[in-house]
Structure 1
């Protein structure tokens, strides 16, 4: 059995290359340090250190044990920290754009729920532009979505380049206005796409407007026209048009977490979790 006390002593000796210094740091006698190492070596049946009166070095087995010890001690520290802290209670009102909600958000919410089961989550899914309005009105505590044009608030999470998508095999007729499928106002994506088309001098026609990205994907699957989605968020049944290289290059959009001015402890904890998580991941959204 790998006693965590022995592992801590072993890791300290490995870090300072001295039984004496390890004893000083751990407030142990040198004989206690030696006993911890002896019992750990006995437990695993391997020599972990080669030592004489002048030097101390780890064996290959010692190097391997150090890697395991680091993981075990870090896990123990996290567990102790969680259970020493008072359990979080309260409610978090989170707003999320539907593209994030269909992709990486459930994983983050599951981790938050596992760590803080007494916190109630109230989730609002909508266009980022609408979520900004709800946040400014005090109706939600946090939002996760695209950064609004000209707005510098928020904690950056990741960046994704927009790409054109259509039903597989689509060849866009460039002699005609581009048949666009876009989300309704207020929408960060819509504003970015229309600005890019205007700058490139392309004419366009809105053939379908939806209140959600899911609706846009459904319309594009039906062959109504072309839509856009961040590249990291694939959409089943859709691919870039065959002549996508002839279409205007779309810019990247920045995804952020934005919090209310006064944030409760549960909401602040979720904000930190969002910031620490890799929301890009390797998932494929609907």
Structure 2
């Protein structure tokens, strides 16, 4: 048995979240050279390259993303074990806002497991569009907010948002009914686009992209939530741009024959702490990141 060092994992998480060794070092109270040495030993122990390094900083590799999820869970369990022995378990009411796009098939199970791990926490959950979550968080409606971010090119405001804690990346995909999407529409026929209302950032992103690439389309249906989009997709009412975890029974990614514009990745982030928030909320946010990663 070759267990991982929690100190090395803590440094790895700090660097991944900060985006560079220099930015991550203060979070673990180490010098940059000590951080580099810990990461070298961690990669040696894992037998994998965990970080891709560039002039812009560092980002986890595919293997690093896998370890990052495990590391957050292990660190959270270690913290929970200490708190349990000290009689310091999490207790209080937590108002949580979650974007409708976050792991739609798994969200209920994630919440149930988080509740089971922290029985003293009274969760109050609102599932809404990312823009509504961010606005509500700014107004104090939520204690913790989990939103989806699209590339900065999707809108001028994207670059002005506070970064938050990275939680997950997913590719965006063009999707349609599994039984009807083998062949694209006839030449000249408009694409039948299914989407959430135009207040949704992903709706605006998809529409802007199709217009830029001069792909003829019509918004054939606007659903109130992702579940409605999934039902409409499975029924063959059109196609949609959604994140990969929204794939479900009866729905699949469109094949290359559709020649639709290439899509980037979406990022899911936990909004950054507010000034003056309670120690309970700070700890609950850390646990949520670990539980949902």
Q: TM-score normalized by structure 1?
A: 0.64
1:256 aligned counterpart, secondary structure = strand
Q: Distance in 2 between matches of 1:113 and 1:241?
A: 37
1:3 maps to which residue? none
Q: Is the 8 A contact 2:114 2:291 kept in 1?
A: no
Distance in 1 between the 2:280 and 2:226 partners? 29
SS of match in other structure, 1:176? coil
TM-aligned CA deviation for residue 107 of structure 1: 4.7
- Deviation per CA, 1:113-144: give whole Å up to 9, x if none: 23432221100011112111211221111111
Partner of 1:270: 284
1:246-278 deviation line (CA, Å, top 9, x unaligned): 111112111111145143333322321233346
Q: Could you say which residue in structure 1 is the equivalent of 2:149?
A: 147
CA distance in 1, matches of 2:162, 2:79: 36
Structure 2 residue aligned with 1:203? 216
Q: Deviations over 1:13-32 (max 9, x none)?
A: xxxxxxxxxxxxxxxxxxxx
Question: How many matched pairs?
Answer: 205
* Partner in structure 2 of residue 23 of structure 1: none
Report the secondary structure of 1:239's partner residue: strand
Q: Quick one: distance in 1 between partners of 2:167 and 2:99?
A: 14
Deviates more, 1:172-181 or 1:156-165: 172-181
Match for 1:97 among 99, 103, 106?
99
Give 2:86's match in structure 1, choosing from 84, 87, 90. Answer: 84
Q: How much is the aligned-residue C-alpha RMSD, in angstroms?
A: 2.5
- Distance of 1:104 and 1:264 partners within structure 2: 29
Aligned residue in 2 for 1:162:
172
Unmatched tracts of structure 2, length 5 or more: 1-76, 151-157
Q: 1:218 to 1:108 in 2, by over 3 A?
A: closer
Judged with a 3 Å threshold, the aligned counterparts in structure 2 of structure 1 residues 266 and 172 are, in CA distance, closer, same or farther, namely farther
In structure 1, C-alpha distance between the alignment counterparts of 2:141 and 2:108, rounded to whole Å = 21
Shift of 1:111: 4.2
Q: Secondary structure at the match of 2:94?
A: strand
Which segments of 5 or more consecutive residues in structure 1 lack a partner in the other structure? Answer: 1-74, 280-286
* CA drift at 1:188: 2.2
Question: Structure 1 residues 274, 188: CA separation in 2 closer, same or farther (over 3 Å shift)?
Answer: farther
Residue in 2 that maps onto 1:230: 243
2:128 to 113, 126, 129: 126
SS of residue matched to 1:100:
coil
In structure 2, the CA distance between the partners of 1:115 and 1:221, relative to structure 1 (3 Å rule), is closer
Asked if structure 2 preserves the Cα contact closer than 8 Å seen for 1:193 and 1:250, the reply is: no
Distance in 2 separating the partners of 1:249 and 1:257: 27
Q: Where do residues 1-286 of structure 1 align in structure 2 (5 Å cutoff)?
A: 79-100=81-102, 102-147=104-149, 149-150=158-159, 151-168=161-178, 169-170=180-181, 171-173=183-185, 174-259=187-272, 261=274, 262-277=276-291, 279=293
